[in-house]
Amino acid sequence: MFHAAPFDPHAWQSLPNAHIYVKNITAAFCAADKSGCETYQANAKTYEEKLTKLGVNIDNALARIPESRRTVVVGHNAFRYFEHEHGIHFLSPQGVSTESEASAADVAGILREIKKNHAAAVFAENISNPRLVEQIASEAGLSVAGVLYSDALSDPSGPAPTYIDMMQHNVNTIVSALADNKHVP
């Protein structure tokens, strides 16, 4: 199994962090362009409201997932922030980087963890070749339940062209797999 890195670069998987980013970006824009500060602040306020609404939607959707179905498998450990905030446990054969391949021992370890923790679903990630998670799903008697966006957005016509769309897509995909195909409004 993976060895946790001391720092997880996937901090954007946390809505509270997104709120911090908006505040920091707004402050930087205002410092660089004082004449536009009022506009930046208004845009930030509007975006903060969207993030708050998204947070409520996420909480309501994930509340429908029973505790017994809150363990899932992904290709690499990109969802620790999401896990910490929402109680969905993510197992992965790779650490926070996709630069190294999972070994046979890593795959065997994740299969033991899947059985031990009764993982309910396996997800591919948009940035990775799905071969490894397909193999894990097959060996665990599961199927790949969808694609999560971990490190990059989709193209503009895809399901996750913006941060908010990415978070909503990931939640919809997780809920669809774990809570009887019900989607977030």
Are domains 11-61 and 66-178 of this chain identical in fold?
yes
User: How far is it, in rounded angstroms, from Cα 173 to Cα 184?
Assistant: 9
Return the pLDDT at 6: 61
Return the pLDDT at 107: 85
Class of domain 11-61: alpha beta
Backbone angles phi, psi at 146, to 5 degrees: 150, -175
Instruction: State the pTM of this model.
Output: 0.87
Class of domain 66-178: alpha beta
Positions of the chain with pLDDT under 70:
1-7, 94-100, 180-185
User: How far is it, in rounded angstroms, from Cα 61 to Cα 12?
Assistant: 19
Burial of 135 (0-12, 13-18, 19+ CB in 10 A): middle
Amino acid identity for residue 157 in this structure: S
Return the pLDDT at 95: 54
Judge contact between 111 and 127, C-beta under 8 A.
no
Return the pLDDT at 160: 97
Nearest Cα residue to 128 out of 160, 94, 162, 163: 94
Return the pLDDT at 8: 77
**What is the torsional sign of CA 27, 18, 153, 182?**
negative
DSSP letter at 151?
S
Each domain of the chain, given as residue ranges in start order, spans: 11-61, 66-178
